């Protein structure tokens, strides 16, 4: 793919936290090699959406990109309008919220209580706002239906990725290695039995629940019928002792080239 004509599309994975995105990125790195990279805004402000200038910077550092992914690819239909083909994975909002809270604690990125976490508007209807930019359910539905070339569900991960393979404009190697599976589930085990916490999670994620139902009942079945995909067998997996060369190359270029250049650019512009 490297060196392909500039009119070839760039596919953009809107990586919503705790939706099996790390495993999806493994597949992307293994499929595209040097043609894939995680991307970030040059301005490191929290929740700053990746925009056209940020994409231009990434293309300058890594010419020939055909696939990008990132947590900051937010509302790409506005911030990257016409520049990318977006797609994403959604997850049951109760499960996603608990997993997100647990991950922040286990990795030491958060010391909030679950009550404080759920009181933070930034954690409400998280998936709708990543798609639509705002808490607008109808906008999110319209964008997923009309502007995204694929949307899958974590609970049907293997089926979803087979549909993604069929709809993607580039060849996709579905051999994978399950990544970022929580090693410590004690918080999850505690929260899933707390009726008060579960009620609060549902209350602040009503739009996410409706969007999830829309994808489960309408979009995913339509994509399945269109592609003729009916296999729910597990994806082929790499053994634990082996990682493919294309994955290594893609990850190394991201860490040693893109991230280093991004850090220098941030220093040059005076960002901290």
Per-residue pLDDT of the chain (272 residues; tens, 9 = 90+): 333 334 689 999 999 999 999 999 999 999 999 999 999 999 999 889 999 999 999 999 999 999 999 999 999 999 998 999 999 999 999 999 999 999 888 776 666 789 999 999 999 999 999 999 999 999 999 999 999 999 999 999 999 999 999 999 999 999 998 765 655 678 888 998 889 999 999 999 999 999 999 999 999 999 999 999 988 789 998 887 788 899 999 999 999 999 999 999 999 999 97
Q: What pLDDT was estimated at residue 182? A: 57
Per the listing, tokens 């696939």 go with: 67
Q: What pLDDT was estimated at residue 4? A: 38
- The residue ranges of DSSP E strands in 98-254, in sequence order, are 150-153
Helices (H) and strands (E) in the chain, counts: 14, 5
- CA–CA distances in Å: residue 237 to residues 40, 121, 231: 29, 38, 16
The helix, strand and coil proportions of the chain, stated in percent and rounded to the nearest 5, come to 55, 10, 40
The tally of CA atoms less than 13 A away on the side-chain side of residue 202 is 8
Backbone angles phi, psi at 252, to 5 degrees: -65, -40
Please check whether residue 176 is in contact with residue 23, taking contact to mean a CB–CB distance below 8 angstroms: yes
Q: What pLDDT was estimated at residue 181? A: 60
């Amino acid at each position: 793919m490297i060196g392909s004509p500039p009119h070839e599309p760039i596919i953009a994975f809107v990586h919503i936290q705790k939706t099996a995105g790390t495993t999806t990125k493994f597949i992307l790195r293994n499929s595209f090699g040097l043609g894939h990279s995680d991307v970030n805004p040059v301005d490191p402000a929290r929740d700053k959406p990746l925009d056209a200038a940020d994409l231009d910077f990434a293309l300058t550092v890594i010419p020939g990109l055909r696939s990008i992914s990132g947590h900051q690819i937010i509302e790409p239909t506005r911030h990257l309008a016409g520049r990318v083909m977006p797609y994403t994975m959604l997850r049951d909002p109760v499960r996603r919220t608990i997993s997100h809270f647990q991950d922040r604690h286990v990795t030491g990125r958060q010391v909030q209580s679950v009550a404080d976490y759920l009181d933070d508007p930034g954690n409400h209807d998280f998936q709708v706002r990543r798609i639509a930019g705002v808490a607008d359910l109808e906008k999110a539905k319209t964008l997923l239906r009309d502007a995204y070339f694929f949307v899958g569900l974590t609970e049907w991960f293997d089926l979803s990725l087979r549909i993604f393979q069929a709809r993607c404009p580039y060849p996709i190697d579905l051999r994978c290695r399950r990544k970022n599976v929580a090693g410590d589930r004690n918080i999850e085990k505690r929260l899933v039995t707390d009726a008060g916490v579960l009620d609060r999670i549902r209350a602040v994620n009503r739009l996410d629940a409706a969007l999830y139902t829309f994808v489960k009942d309408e979009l995913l079945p339509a994509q399945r019928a269109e592609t003729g995909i009916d296999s729910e067998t597990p994806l082929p997996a790499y053994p634990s002792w082996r990682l493919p060369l294309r994955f290594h190359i893609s990850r190394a270029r991201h860490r040693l080239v893109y991230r280093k250049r991004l850090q220098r650019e941030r220093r040059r512009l005076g960002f901290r």
